């Protein structure tokens, strides 16, 4: 049986048994199926096969490719956007001012902290740093450094915004949630949101602030602490 050199050869077999079927494929769609009996009575065939790498070689190639990919510099500057999450919690104690978002909220307790204890600004800073893939606020502004003792948290957020712009990003939007049992933040929310927007250099329409109680559960619900969560979207300029 005469066959063109462009044909491709394939065989199906079962372990420890002779070949049961042979297939001759002619690109693009032609398929001829012959039994082993009919082929054995035909003249010898001259088949050309394309060498294929063994599974071991293929695995080695994949390993090399993965290793090369991990050696590529951080591609963060090419990303169209980045998302970051921040969380912070502070203990509430008498004798400290309660500062939230740079605003002094009248209350009998305040945040015990190395700086001014602004749980919202600390949380926002961590969210921005996280989106940029940078260390958290405690590593950049360690509480072991005396120069940050009692420092206004606006200093931290201005530095985070500076790092954001240097990396080539701007704020897309921000969503923050404050968790505390008391005081009620409804009378102060708009003032806090406006001040936070100014510190970020962002339009107030892209800065959202929510406040929740903890239903009198654990330290938050017992008014022994205050916490905040923040999610930010940074967009490539």
Q: Is a pLDDT exceeding 70 seen at residue 5? A: no
Q: Is a pLDDT exceeding 80 seen at residue 199? A: yes
Which pLDDT does position 142 carry in this prediction?
79
In this prediction, residue 78 has a pLDDT band, given cuts at 50, 70 and 90, of low
Q: Is a pLDDT exceeding 70 seen at residue 105? A: yes
Q: Is residue 91 a contact partner of residue 224, using CB atoms and an 8 Å limit?
A: yes
Question: pLDDT by residue (tens digit) across 110-143?
Answer: 898 777 889 999 999 999 999 999 998 888 777 7
Reported pTM = 0.65
Question: pLDDT by residue (tens digit) across 170-191?
Answer: 999 999 999 999 999 999 999 9
Long-range pairs for 160-163 at CB < 8 Å and ≥24 separation? Answer: 160/124, 160/125, 160/128, 160/129, 161/128, 161/199, 161/200, 161/201, 163/128, 163/129, 163/132, 163/134
All structural domains of the chain: 81-236 (3.30.1330.50)
Q: Is a pLDDT exceeding 80 seen at residue 205? A: yes
Which pLDDT does position 9 carry in this prediction?
39
In this prediction, residue 148 has a pLDDT band, given cuts at 50, 70 and 90, of confident
Q: For 128, list phi and psi in degrees, rounded to 5.
A: -65, -45
Q: Is a pLDDT exceeding 60 seen at residue 76? A: no
Q: What integer best gives the mean pLDDT of the chain?
A: 76
Greatest mean pLDDT among 1-5, 204-208, 215-219 lies in 204-208
Question: pLDDT by residue (tens digit) across 63-73?
Answer: 333 333 333 33
Q: Is a pLDDT exceeding 70 seen at residue 207? A: yes
Which pLDDT does position 114 carry in this prediction?
76
Listed in sequence order, the DSSP H helices in the chain are 36-40, 55-70, 119-132, 137-140, 154-166, 189-200, 218-221
Which pLDDT does position 77 carry in this prediction?
56
Question: pLDDT by residue (tens digit) across 14-64?
Answer: 455 444 444 444 444 444 443 444 444 444 444 444 445 444 444 444 333
């Amino acid at each position: 049986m005469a066959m063109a050199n462009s044909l491709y050869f394939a065989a199906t077999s079962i372990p420890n048994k002779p070949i049961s079927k042979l297939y001759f494929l002619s690109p693009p769609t032609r398929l001829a199926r012959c039994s082993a009996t009919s082929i054995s009575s035909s003249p010898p065939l001259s088949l050309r096969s394309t060498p294929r790498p063994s599974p071991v070689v293929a695995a080695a190639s994949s390993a090399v490719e993965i290793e090369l990919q991990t050696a590529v510099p951080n591609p963060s500057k090419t990303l169209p956007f980045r998302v970051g999450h921040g969380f912070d919690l502070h203990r509430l104690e008498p004798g400290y001012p309660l500062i939230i978002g740079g605003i002094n909220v009248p209350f009998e307790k305040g945040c015990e902290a190395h700086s001014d204890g602004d749980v919202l600004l600390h949380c926002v800073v961590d969210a921005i740093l996280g989106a940029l893939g940078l260390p958290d606020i405690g590593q950049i502004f360690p509480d072991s450094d005396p120069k940050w003792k009692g420092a206004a948290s606006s200093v931290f957020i201005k530095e985070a915004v500076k790092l954001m712009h240097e990396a080539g990003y701007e704020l897309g939007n921000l969503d923050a949630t404050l968790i505390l049992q008391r005081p009620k933040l409804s009378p102060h929310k708009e003032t806090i949101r406006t001040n936070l927007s100014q510190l970020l250099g962002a339009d107030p329409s892209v800065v959202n602030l929510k406040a929740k109680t903890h239903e009198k559960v654990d330290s938050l619900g017992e008014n022994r602490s205050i916490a905040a969560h923040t999610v930010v979207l940074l967009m490539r300029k």
